[in-house]
Structure 1
């Protein structure tokens, strides 16, 4: 198998646990470092799958790489190639497929629950997961569900937490976290953590019982990544 392309948009928002998952399954991958001005490929020829990580920017920003990445996403979806987006990555998928990205009523930052939507697509993609489970969040914007896609996850304050279309899976939340990533994000993003409220946690709350929370999340991520990777050729 040729290399899965993983797009990184900020130095501290790499593939995290996904890299461990792919390594254990001997699925080769290559990092496209948008934050280091790596060129965006213009073609999906020979690419088995595309993954898009998070980032502090908005997909509504005037950044030269965004149209190139959204064009690549459209090519991949049209070719029935697996695409996976985390947070900003999910927003890029939504935009590429005709969705809109707008301000969420509240910021969601920290460990918060999401709920499986009651439909057949959610049952398929989230098979073996509980109806509600805790994931990590760090976002102030949200995507709409693009035409032809199906919503599979929601939270109390952000109804659109994940959608699927074909072999493509887009998250607003983060399932790729490691303990080191949580600690680093709490440090780098400290300016966003005030005022603390029901949906914005302080670093102490965010890192409490961290090993247990991360282990639980990674167990969930294994099942989700298993389902997504079924589409890789």
Structure 2
């Protein structure tokens, strides 16, 4: 089986729990750092693609963004699964005709997300809660590309996830660990030192964090499993 490729855009955006899950399922993967100048893979070299977050806009003029969108389109044409997280999800949206725009409410911390497609085959018949709390950190949101299937919605930020062809995009962060949350809160202290309706402070983000992570993972493990099963169909 060809490896999964995990694209990291900046050092602080790590795959975290996602790699723990892949290791538990004995899945081979390769990590690529855009910040370090490493090259994107070719579609023929991978069985699946994961796009992590980034503290920049998909609408910025970084030349690698266009190259990454071209890779996503090529993967979709071949049926190769792509999983985009936050910035990565926004990039998938834009790659297929969606819009990325400033959110009406900046979200940092734990926020409720509603499941919009309870019976979708992606969830493999699992009985799902109507809502769950997901960890968010974003100032922009995405629209659904034409023909996309909505999977998750948020009360404040609208679209939280969709499926388009072989591409799965989410706005929230299923990969975070308690350590990653602590690191982000320290690195971007100016973002959380003045809590608002959508922005939680450091203490609130870490309150009962292990319980919150476990509850989120009951949902997001299904997304990781979808990626693994789809990738195993790629020869």
TM-score range, shorter chain: over 0.9
Is the alpha carbon distance of 1:35 and 1:128 closer, same or farther for their aligned partners in structure 2, counting shifts above 3 Å? farther
- Aligned residue number for residue 202 of structure 1: 201
Superposition pairs for residues 69-218 of structure 1, below 5 Å? 69-118=68-117, 120=119, 123-126=120-123, 127-218=126-217
Q: CA deviation at 1:166?
A: 2.4
The whole-number CA distance in structure 1 between the counterparts of 2:189 and 2:127 is 35
Q: CA deviation at 1:213?
A: 1.4
- Aligned residue number for residue 21 of structure 2: 21
Which runs of 5 or more structure 2 residues have no equivalent in the other structure? none
Alignment check: 8 A CA contact 1:167 1:228 kept? no
Secondary structure at 1:35 match in 2:
coil
The whole-number CA distance in structure 2 between the counterparts of 1:218 and 1:148 is 28
Q: CA deviation at 1:118?
A: 4.8
The whole-number CA distance in structure 1 between the counterparts of 2:144 and 2:99 is 8
**Normalising by the residue count of structure 2, what TM-score does the alignment of the two structures yield?**
0.93
Q: CA deviation at 1:215?
A: 2.1
Alignment: residue pair count: 230
**Normalising by the residue count of structure 1, what TM-score does the alignment of the two structures yield?**
0.94
The whole-number CA distance in structure 2 between the counterparts of 1:67 and 1:226 is 28
Alignment check: 8 A CA contact 1:2 1:47 kept? yes
Secondary structure at 1:176 match in 2:
coil
Secondary structure at 2:224 match in 1:
helix
Q: CA deviation at 1:95?
A: 1.0
Alignment check: 8 A CA contact 1:80 1:166 kept? yes
- Aligned residue number for residue 12 of structure 2: 12
Which runs of 5 or more structure 1 residues have no equivalent in the other structure? none
Runs of 4+ in 1 over 4 A off after TM superposition: none
Secondary structure at 1:206 match in 2:
helix
Residue-by-residue CA offset, 1:121-175 (whole Å, 9 max, x unaligned): xx33344321100110000100110122111111111111000012321001111
Alignment check: 8 A CA contact 2:3 2:29 kept? yes
User: Superposition RMSD on alpha carbons, in Å?
Assistant: 1.4
- Aligned residue number for residue 39 of structure 2: 39
The whole-number CA distance in structure 1 between the counterparts of 2:28 and 2:84 is 18
Does residue 220 of the first structure (1) align with residue 219 of the second (2)? yes
Secondary structure at 1:161 match in 2:
strand
The whole-number CA distance in structure 1 between the counterparts of 2:29 and 2:212 is 27
